[in-house]
Structure 1
């Protein structure tokens, strides 16, 4: 029996090359039992015509499946599902079961119920994606990342690819961070003082687990990164929100009972305020006065295109009080999930032990790929390209905002990739954000950033890292009109 060519179609959401997609279509058909042993596949010419691809693409896919024994070739007759092809599983569907467990009692702890908002996974399908933290494919250096990944797969790096580091990290990545990345922030650290993490959020979680107990107090910025607040609530420590102003966290407002102070001095999250040097020193003095530690999340320091980045708090620290959090996930791409912690050796030793008990270490291949991308100069070239693009987009966005009459609550003194916006006091950002989706516009409501049972509803964040420059004015105009309509509703 011949398999109809109409059975095959390429999904627009499929990933990989056309050849790989065709191979996957056929393999899935065999593994699911839809294509059976001995059945004939359409000719390469017929399938190519049906799918709208070249004949050589289909031929190469067939050849690869032939080599893997999914297909067999019979002279001039064509390709057939091989007699040696994997057999689809044969079993009866399980009987419907009744869950008799009382999960309200069985769960020892709960981790749901946080304030971290859901972000649309299909953000790239929107015409005006003012989303924060996503990668612009037009800027990312995919070709060189791919080459570095292939290089990391080579025989020379077999150990880095396959070894269980247990509680250690790729020495090449650690060396690059120590000798290149950190000195740019004025930080000098030994390998024993550096730990690779699965992004900045994992770094914050490790720091919270190591430093805080139910009897200790964490001071956090208000508003702040909402995932940090979730992390601290899960740790069961006492949390003291400290309101920020135009210069970020005010040291004078930090409660004296604080044990750990979490701060984002370079680009306060989400207001983007940059902490001036006098306040940075005052923060270190306050930490010394109350004998507290500081966890510095230095995200987006690379995105300083308006002015040179201010020195990191860690670079001013002479007592080992500051624990530094860095991330490549923000500057490269969020799916990378690669960050690092820098702190005193005693802290890093405990952090390393905790990480080893949970996930051992980030994948060796990812670490080595990143090490090559950094050391070969691709990272610096990418950052320069991103800075130039963000500088241009920020200028266009500022002009559009000024023209529309929207109110900027914070835009970062040194750069960054977002504006912190404030709507009229009676407006509800979550409400008009839903309406804007219908017009292809994505914005981020700001209520989740605030530590309050009744947070203000009129703040929102506009990112410009992922929206083409030419679409910014039209998108801003739609936001302004949506806000205007919101004010006229009863």
Structure 2
């Protein structure tokens, strides 16, 4: 690797000759670890032009460093950092400047402090990873995704890959969402009513920014998706949590002054409750009566391997008051970060303008690759494969939980990829999670999903999306023993 000449700067306040200052600049780069053994330095001519000094000055500096074994020379190739150069210190070098800013006063707003849990980056190294939302490499269609990515890199799709769409999206992806994805949920929408987002979380953030202010009230389910609550808290709106029951969000419990209602009717997060059709209609009636809007997060509807899901809330909406959030990130792979918003033209127009001011649009190459993966039928094949695997894993998990007497309180009517669990009242599942990690078991404590200062501490979630069926019984056995011993 050639070290870029742009990384070299002479310290105007340094003492000594130009030759000595160049030597010091290079040795500091080696001792700090910025320049690594075997890396090639710029030619004496290029470095001299960059620094505005004579070439002979740089050559003499290089020669001195060569004599001190900081550099080595290769015939007709140039100068390289020597393999015998001093090793950088093990400690982290201090930054030469001091931060004198009082950040407690300088920060206008804070976005830290939310309840979003931190999952270990090395989750795949755990033998029993009962964690939600990670891709299983055994199920993913590597070959066809690679083929679609290569196709999207071709000359035919050069403009799709390189064009700045500004506030627009890949027309082929929009067409597929409009003609194939949404009709499966009973939704009809025009391209002007669809916006591609960087996943469902980005869609929720855009929605909150457009619809809410400090004077407006948002309803959230309790418990709910923790990142959604963080988003709404950051919007500074008034937040009203409403407890869910076995059928999801109860319309009768809604506060009369609500402006926007956030709900997951098809697959409540995290309890997996499914809202019956009668309650969906009642929720729409109640929202119309209150002149409130509804934001429907329809995550995981594809994982309905037990029976077909109920129609989306958006499909029952005749007033245009439902804003629909969908995502391909969970069903294809979470790192894809590709979702979509569906709503009235007036709303999408504002959301589109906001997105353009923040990130323009999701990368064109990713959109076109996804469009190919969807339109060529690979997505449907992947969903069928995942559904079959999840159905088997769910059966194994239910059997193992029953065998050990573990309390299942929510498992989804149509399918899904997780089970909502309740431990005995005295159990703190955060502490339980810490103990289980020593036995290579990962679970998700339920505390972050609840709103309030004193959330129940004995709930947890077990996902079967990232663990093979063969390992589930042993993992549940370890969990059961730890619960008993704790």
Q: Which of 12, 35, 39 in structure 1 is aligned with 2:38?
A: 35
Cα distance, 1:96 vs structure 2: 2.2
**1:162-177 alignment, distance < 5 Å:** 162-177=162-177
Cα distance, 1:452 vs structure 2: 1.2
Cα distance, 1:303 vs structure 2: 0.2
Cross-structure match for 1:214:
214
Q: 1:290 to 1:441 in 2, by over 3 A?
A: same
The answer to whether residue 235 in structure 2 is matched with residue 235 in structure 1 is yes
CA distance in 1, matches of 2:76, 2:323: 61
**SS of residue paired to 1:249:** coil
Cross-structure match for 1:279:
279
Q: Deviations over 1:308-332 (max 9, x none)?
A: 1110000000010100000000100
Contact 1:194 1:343 (C-alpha < 8 Å) held by counterparts = yes
The answer to whether residue 434 in structure 2 is matched with residue 431 in structure 1 is no
Cα distance, 1:479 vs structure 2: 0.6
Cross-structure match for 1:144:
144
Cα distance, 1:124 vs structure 2: 0.2
Contact 1:37 1:82 (C-alpha < 8 Å) held by counterparts = no
Cross-structure match for 2:156:
156
Structure 1 residues without counterparts, runs of 5 or longer: 1-29, 39-79
Cross-structure match for 1:261:
261
Q: Deviations over 1:250-294 (max 9, x none)?
A: 011010100000000111000000111000001101100100000
Contact 2:38 2:80 (C-alpha < 8 Å) held by counterparts = no
**1:23-422 alignment, distance < 5 Å:** 32-35=35-38, 83=76, 96-422=96-422
Q: Deviations over 1:392-427 (max 9, x none)?
A: 000000000000100001000110000000000111
Structure 2 residues without counterparts, runs of 5 or longer: 1-32, 42-72, 82-87
Q: Deviations over 1:342-381 (max 9, x none)?
A: 0000000000000000000000000000000000000000
Cross-structure match for 1:441:
441
Cross-structure match for 1:24:
none
Cα distance, 1:97 vs structure 2: 1.9
CA distance in 2, matches of 1:327, 1:368: 16
CA distance in 2, matches of 1:253, 1:127: 42
Cα distance, 1:36 vs structure 2: 5.8
CA distance in 2, matches of 1:351, 1:86: 54
So what's the TM-score if we normalise by structure 1?
A: 0.82
Contact 2:40 2:79 (C-alpha < 8 Å) held by counterparts = no
CA distance in 2, matches of 1:237, 1:81: 65
Contact 2:267 2:274 (C-alpha < 8 Å) held by counterparts = yes
Instruction: Provide the aligned C-alpha RMSD in A.
Output: 1.8
**SS of residue paired to 2:179:** helix
CA distance in 1, matches of 2:479, 2:264: 28
So what's the TM-score if we normalise by structure 2?
A: 0.83
Q: 1:83 to 1:441 in 2, by over 3 A?
A: farther
CA distance in 2, matches of 1:322, 1:378: 30
Q: 1:95 to 1:117 in 2, by over 3 A?
A: closer
**SS of residue paired to 1:346:** helix
Cα distance, 1:307 vs structure 2: 1.3
Contact 1:325 1:342 (C-alpha < 8 Å) held by counterparts = yes
Cross-structure match for 2:461:
461
Cα distance, 1:31 vs structure 2: 9.0
Cross-structure match for 1:7:
none
Q: 1:374 to 1:85 in 2, by over 3 A?
A: farther
Contact 1:37 1:83 (C-alpha < 8 Å) held by counterparts = no
**SS of residue paired to 2:115:** coil
Q: 1:82 to 1:160 in 2, by over 3 A?
A: farther
Shift >4 Å, 4+ stretches: 80-88, 92-95
